[in-house]
Chain A
């Protein structure tokens, strides 16, 4: 999720109501915590750190000696979601991903939505993430975003908003699984008090999905996971998922294309690859088709893909649907493709290419968050309430120079969850990334990755900027 800087808010608290009373679904946890001697809690937290280190659940720090890897801080207070809330959220997420897949299929075929005038054509066709190479290619089951990580936040009185759709190579699911494993190892007694919906079957579900989208005629497909390699910051997750699914973890150098089929080099000669779960960006997958300097990809992959001899998940060209300039149109996609009203809300978004949105934004700049359409990771953005007069006026000039490059949103008061910090337990802002899988069907495991901004008042949950994670509990009743 994007960073939103430091903002003082009266955020929704996941555990406590307005009067400070403990919400019903946190009561058993609260009692348990009260009964725990502080030194035992401290000891358990240290144990968690030690275990994460030993297992190597780390992200690589670039430019340092091998083996220099940092832990993502893990917080032992779970984020608990009651069954009813999850049911609504899950339905909304599935609906949204269905519409997004329909949109991508449409964009690369008949482009009905453009012809119907629901989205300006140049917004899509001139987008750098739009891949003309994909035009007219049929993919199995018309699924493009097989794995979608949808970033959701709670704001106001606790209602959910979608902040961002991640349809390229969303990461973080290994933390969802490892956080759960850790909580069960550290505090088995808690799981006796709560019936927490399991998430451990995610790798099975993912494998089933990947097998389900094999090229037609392949009965027992060979599925592989393509990683940029051991020095990639998400390498742990790649290795973890490949191992959990029992598939080969391959690098570009392990693969080659011959006569429009993809093979991997094995100790017993070449072996055909049918489905590729790739964790490499579009730009790098095939040096013949995209960036010629890429050492990570497989020369000729696109030709095999176009011939229908290999399935790539996620498909090439999904980035056109999770771009910030397209985001405001997602609710419309739900209406257009599914004929349904969207169950999940977008954050209200001002599209500055529109005159009236531009005028509003300029008049309320100090209250809004302004983002660059193609920016990512919190770069090129303005957080109005945290900005100085000079920053505001400089950004105003940049907007006026090319308004079509920007969108604006109100500053959201992200919900907060009690979290262990140096001074004890204090509320910290959180978000949620559930992972929606599409293959023969659209499914998701009950839960996701909860990220927490550990700095007081911060809304930045990114792991690269001091964010941590929590186990996410969806209750079964």
Chain B
């Protein structure tokens, strides 16, 4: 297939996934902010969120105060913020539009309607009650986009590049979500400080990656930080875990293999193997934060290599 087409599909999928994860993260933060706690804690959590997305500076340029309302305006609906949900859905739609002939009609119509609805939603005023509905809507539209991809698309290269984008993005996002929460919850690197507030924080984190019920099902026990990390990093059956994402990345990468992609494939395989055979105690021994930082770096490297191997037009000369 055309390199440019693959590029658009890959980014369409990444932006769709990114919008969903943003909605998940904001939703949890927003709900947490409603719990009785020091405003300092709330602010710290918002700051950390902006920081992992890499838009803290942009936020400070555009807004004076770090209030939940400003935060939402900035991260959900701000047209000037390319990392907002609005910005992601716009980018997803633009990429889809550029290759609408490659998408199935149903995929295109789904992505296009999402964008058309987003434009209507973004100009309405939002009450606290409605904002939850909005996050639900974003997640729902993302489910729909994946479902229609799964349900209508030919299993060809276009399909693999689409999923490659989805899983690389998800791997990155899950790692960041875990890192920021872990960091803010364990400022001293200790464990076992099981206050009620902490319980809510950890369960909120699980909710944000749709893993709360799964945690209960898998561990049938108290929520502990170590288990949460184990679930999100090492379990291969949790759809949003790092392990699961990397196994999918590796699979789709193998399916589109070309002459220059072998090293990229090897690196993805290596990362996958480390997750497959890794032990949570070793990860904690070396420091979870360090581990996650390194993981995010490695997915970034994979993303750049994918671009170089497949997506950037080469003359082949």
* Interface of chain B residues 92 through 112 with chain A (CB within 8 A): 93-94, 97-102, 105, 108-109, 112
Of the candidate stretches B17-25, B51-59, B113-121, B200-208, the one touching chain A is: B113-121
**Among A55, A67, A254, contact of B313 (Cβ-Cβ < 8 Å):** A254
A307 within 8 A of B: no
Which one of A21-29, A88-96, A235-243, A370-378 contacts B? A235-243
Name the interface residues of A244-298: CB closer than 8 Å to any CB of B: 248-251, 253-254, 256, 258, 263-270
Q: How far is the CB of A360 from chain B (nearest CB, A)?
A: 51
Q: How far is the CB of B316 from chain A (nearest CB, A)?
A: 4
Q: Please name all residues of chain A whose beta carbon is closer than 8 Å to the beta carbon of B101 when the two chains form the complex.
A: 238-240, 242-243, 249
Give the distance to chain B from A192, nearest Cβ to Cβ, in Å: 26
**Is A109 part of the binding interface, using a Cβ–Cβ cutoff of 8 Å?**
no
A56 to B258, Cβ gap below 8 A? no
B109 with A55: CB separation less than 8 A:
yes
In the complex, are the beta carbons of B90 and A263 less than 8 A apart?
no
Q: Could you tell me the distance between the alpha carbons of A240 and B108 in the complex, rounded to whole angstroms?
A: 12
Q: Do A54 and B112 touch (CB < 8 A)?
A: yes
Q: How far is the CB of A240 from chain B (nearest CB, A)?
A: 7
Chain A residues near B100 (CB, 8 Å)?
Answer: 56, 239, 243
Interface residues of B in 273-317 (CB under 8 A from A): 310-311, 313-317
Which residue of chain A is the closest to B98 with respect to CB atoms? A230
Residue of A nearest to B100 (CB): A239
Q: Is B2 an interface residue (CB 8 A)?
A: yes
In this complex, how many residues of chain A approach chain B with their Cβ under 8 Å: the count is 29
Cα–Cα distance between A66 and B93 once the two chains are bound (Å): 9
B3 x A267 contact (CB < 8 A): yes
Majority SS of interface residues in chain B?
A: helix
Q: Are A251 and B4 in contact (CB-based, < 8 A)? A: yes
B126 → chain A, closest Cβ, in Å? 21
Which B residues are CB-close (under 8 A) to A240?
101
Partner of B2, one of A67, A230, A239, A250: A250
Task: Say how far B93's CB is from chain A's closest CB, in angstroms.
Answer: 6
What separation, in Å, do the CA atoms of A253 and B8 have in the docked complex?
14
Is A270 in contact with B316, judged by CB distance below 8 angstroms?
yes
Known: A56-B108, A230-B97. A266 touches B315 (CB 8 A): no
Choice from A249, A251, A264, A268 contacting B258 with Cβ under 8 Å? A268
Q: Give every chain A residue within 8 A of B128 (Cβ-Cβ).
A: none
Question: B259 in the interface, Cβ–Cβ < 8 Å?
Answer: yes
Is B310's CB under 8 angstroms from A67's CB? no
Q: Is B1 among interface residues, defined by CB-CB distance under 8 A?
A: yes
Contacts of B102 on A, CB cut-off 8 Å?
Answer: 243, 249
CB neighbours (8 Å) of A239 from chain B are 100-101
Beta-carbon contact of A267 and B157 below 8 Å: yes
Chain A residues near B119 (CB-CB < 8 A): 67
A53 within 8 A of B: yes
Q: Can you add 20 more A-B contacts, CB < 8 Å, to A67-B97, A230-B97, A254-B313?
A: A54-B112, A55-B109, A66-B93, A67-B93, A67-B115, A242-B101, A248-B5, A249-B102, A250-B2, A253-B313, A254-B3, A258-B315, A264-B2, A265-B4, A266-B1, A267-B157, A267-B256, A267-B311, A268-B258, A269-B258
Which residue numbers of B lie inside 8 Å of A, CB to CB? 1-6, 90, 93-94, 97-102, 105, 108-109, 112-113, 115-116, 119, 157, 161, 256, 258-259, 310-311, 313-317
15 pairs from A and B in contact (CB 8 Å cutoff): A53-B116, A54-B116, A55-B105, A66-B94, A67-B119, A230-B94, A239-B100, A239-B101, A243-B101, A243-B102, A249-B5, A251-B4, A265-B2, A266-B1, A267-B161
Residues of A within 8 A of B (CB): 53-56, 66-67, 229-230, 238-240, 242-243, 248-251, 253-254, 256, 258, 263-270
